[in-house]
Structure 1
Amino acid sequence: MELTEEIKEYIDRSVLCWLATVSAENIPNVSPKEIFNHHGTDKIIVANIASPQTVKNIKQNPNVCVSFIDILVQKGFQVKGKARIIGKKNSSFIEMEKILTKMTGGNFPFATITEITMEQVKPIIAPKYMLYPETTEKDQIASAKKLYGI
């Protein structure tokens, strides 16, 4: 499964992503992540800034789900795949670190990165688009701005 230009665009437009993990005891955990990006042809990378439970869960069970949306358009993607924790000793760390550090401006140090290899992707679309098919993205943006007081 490869990252399409549309998926990359939504990653770039999204302020947060939500990373779901599961412990060895099958207890779910969902955590917001602010520093994330795409990498290579099929990977999403996330800086582990304050993520002890996420890291622990991935080490026990690599199955994850990450979701992200453009909050104004209210569209995005859900990605399921396998995750692994990349430490500073990994040869890929430096390249990934550069991408993520550019986003943080160096203000949020991180010692590890979660690398997610995509296996399944499905779009996330606000129900309004389906319930009211005449809804345009422009309409949805105006509605969201009004709702959020922007």
Structure 2
Amino acid sequence: MLTPDMKRIIEEQLLGFVATTAPDGTPNVSPKGAFFVVDDKTIAFGEIRSPGTIRNLRTNSRIEINFVDPFVRKGYRFAGTAIVVERGTDTFGALLGRYRGALGPRMRAIVAITVTKALPLTSPVYDDGKAEPDVRRAWTTRFRKLQPNERFME
């Protein structure tokens, strides 16, 4: 189910925006930064500071995650079901072995998501016939103006 491009976006982007639902039906969106691909139908993130998200998932395992490359205004949305895997279990250790970042020691749990639906996200800017290099150039220029002392890749 997860294409090579989907895996690339998950691995390249530092934030995935996670949507869950509270027990009272209130929506909750929270950025997470410790995502990794487990296999062709599973992605996961490390729980570091996510008490609301974890509480919501214990009540309702349905989840959606969005990843967007801000420079090209494209990405993917993934829907599925999540399980919370606690530190100290064999499954936690196996999942942690797949994670390549520096935050592993801070993870209290890992949320493993079985992806049941994956769809592309594309900005309406492409509806006007813009090409990806032009969109990238425009957004790179915008970020440079916001942070004139930072260096952004082109």
- What TM-score, normalized by structure 1, do the two folds share? 0.90
Counterparts in 2 of 1:25-64, with a 5 A limit?
Answer: 25-64=24-63
Deviations 1:26-80 (A, max 9, x none): 1111100111011112011011010000000000000110000111111100011
**Correspondent of 1:144 among 131, 136, 139:** 139
Tell me the matched-pair count: 145
- What TM-score, normalized by structure 2, do the two folds share? 0.88
Matched, 1:120 2:120: no
Structure 1 runs not aligned, ≥5 long: none
**Structure 2 CA distance for partners of 1:36 and 1:94, relative to 1, 3 Å:** same
For residues 11 and 85 of structure 1, what CA distance do their matches in structure 2 show? Answer: 19
Superposition RMSD in Å: 1.4
**44-53 or 5-14, larger mean C-alpha shift:** 5-14
For residues 87 and 105 of structure 1, what CA distance do their matches in structure 2 show? Answer: 15
**Structure 2 CA distance for partners of 1:69 and 1:29, relative to 1, 3 Å:** same
Partner AA of 1:44 in structure 2: I
Question: Which residue pairs with 2:89 in the alignment?
Answer: 90
Structure 2 runs not aligned, ≥5 long: 145-151
State percent identity of aligned pairs: 26
Given that 2:34 and 2:103 are in contact with CA atoms closer than 8 Å, whether structure 1 keeps it comes out as no
**91-100 or 52-61, larger mean C-alpha shift:** 91-100
SS of the residue aligned with 1:11? helix
- List structure 1 segments (4+ residues) > 3 angstroms apart after TM superposition: none
Aligned-pair distance for 1:105? 5.6
Deviations 1:112-142 (A, max 9, x none): 0111110111111011011x12x12111110
Given that 2:47 and 2:111 are in contact with CA atoms closer than 8 Å, whether structure 1 keeps it comes out as yes
Matched, 1:109 2:106: yes
